[in-house]
Amino acid sequence: QPPIMRALTSEKERKIRMVQLRTVSKREKILFPVVLLLLVALLLPDAAPLLGMFCFGNLMRESGVVERLSDTVQNGLINIVTIFLGLSVGAKLVADKFLQPQTLGILLLGVIAFGIGTAAGVLMAKLLNLCSKNKINPLIGSAGVSAVPMAARVSNKVGLESDPQNFLLMHAMGPNVAGVIGSAIAAGVMLKYVLAM
């Protein structure tokens, strides 16, 4: 990501300071996952289970009602699920199946898509700067890929290289989470068409 970000932005653009974000109310934090899930369930039912879990976890954390359950899900359970997911995928990943042209082609397409997503995010932020009163640092556009939280951290790191006092991490988390939601919706759309074949 950093080479693409540096190639598409000038030093001056990388030094743009973002204005302080407004405080989000508790009501907004609770309504967001509910409204998001309702919209996805109505418009793209195939993506609802995937986004439903995202929304459920968000609602548990923000409501503050199920504190112990929320703490367990955020810490212990996520680690256990990650281990089992890694073991199950790793058990199926034998060399003669993995090192095939088709699999390597899929990996190559993923790398290309990641690069295009990074470039498109930076260019979109630059386009928004042409018609926006408050300038947007184009580096946060590169965080619009669904690699949470690494894409946001990379945006912050590249910004800090140009200006050690320019902290972009929290600004970059917005596009980063939007990338996750967009990827889940895109996966739902793809599932719909693949299952229909």
Tell me which residue has tokens 């990379």: 154
Res 191: pLDDT: 82
Tell me which residue has tokens 């009602």: 65
Residue 183 burial class via C-beta count within 10 angstroms: exposed 0-12, middle 13-18, buried 19 and up: middle
Question: pLDDT tens digits for 44-86?
Answer: 888 888 889 889 988 999 988 898 998 998 888 989 999 999 9
Res 167: pLDDT: 92
Q: Where are the domains of the chain?
A: 2-17+24-196
DSSP designation for 20: P
Q: Rounded distance, CA 133 to CA 81, Å? A: 45
Q: Which two tokens stand for residue 8?
A: 């598409």
Q: How many CA atoms lie within 13 A of 135 on its CB side?
A: 9
Say yes or no to pLDDT of 134 above 90. no
Say yes or no to pLDDT of 96 above 90. no
Question: pLDDT tens digits for 97-129?
Answer: 777 888 889 889 999 999 999 999 999 999 999
Question: pLDDT tens digits for 15-38?
Answer: 999 888 788 899 999 999 999 999
Question: pLDDT tens digits for 144-196?
Answer: 988 888 999 999 999 999 999 999 999 999 999 999 888 888 888 888 888 88
What is the amino acid identity at position 74? Q
| Nearest in space to 171 (alpha carbons), one of 3, 22, 41 | 22
Res 188: pLDDT: 83
What is the amino acid identity at position 174? G
* This prediction's pTM: 0.80
